[in-house]
Amino acid sequence: MTTETAAKKDIQKLQRAIVDGLEDVKAQDIQVFNTEKLSPLFERVVVASGTSNRQTKALAASVRDAVRDAGFNKPRMEGEENGEWIIVDCGQAVVHIMQPAIRQYYHLEDLWGETPVRLKFGADKPTAQAVPRKEEIKSTSLKRSSAAKKGQTEAFPSRAQQQKAAAKSSGKAPAKKAAAAKTPARKTSKPVPKVVKVNAPKPAAKSAAAKKPAAKKAPAKKSTARKG
């Protein structure tokens, strides 16, 4: 590793510590500028805002502690008595913590803002949830296993499905119910018998002789001739 590469890593580590210290106390409008070509005294200028004297002092103290915890020398601070504009000198980086009215009046962005540095705020900060403990992993695994068992019991609510699951675990095929095997009989409509009209045989015409009444026989006349 060359000296230039090591120096770049140191400055990146320093600016990361500064930004983390500002974010811990919720600084507003954090901006970082690369000043390598503008000044030989420092390589970064950081500008941030605090809404009150109390917050600016807390921001300066947070930056000081973060830089020292990162392995750098303890920074020097100026303007703590007033609190309107506090300068934290971190060696390779200078931090300006200002109240909004002072920052708008002096507008340091016009002086040092030729090369802004883009940062992912809060990306490199480790959180307590990032690395779970062994106890948490064990408890979550137990919860998941119990939830899985609960889901399995709820997955077979009917008696038929429970028998199917028991048969599958024993290796036997479940017997199908006779009622399930039967297919429902189709309803067939009864055929309506067709009415066939058969021409009834007409009664035979009565003969004219039959129609006419039989002529009455004339009574036999008694003979008037006397017997000898």
Q: What local confidence, expressed as pLDDT, does residue 77 receive?
A: 95
Rounded (10°) CA dihedral 50, 115, 1, 42: -60
Nearest 5°: the CA angle 22, 30, 112 is 120
Residue spans per domain, the chain: 6-116
Instruction: Please identify every stretch of the chain with a pLDDT value under 70, giving residue numbers as ranges.
Output: 1, 120-228
Q: What local confidence, expressed as pLDDT, does residue 103 receive?
A: 95
Query: Cα(104)–Cα(12) distance, rounded to whole angstroms?
Result: 27
Homologous superfamily, domain 6-116: Beta Polymerase, domain 2 (3.30.460.10)
pTM (2 d.p.)? 0.53
Rounded (10°) CA dihedral 158, 159, 164, 168: 100
| Digit-coded pLDDT (tens) for 112-140 | 888 888 876 654 444 334 444 545 545 55
Q: What local confidence, expressed as pLDDT, does residue 113 receive?
A: 82
Q: What local confidence, expressed as pLDDT, does residue 52 receive?
A: 94
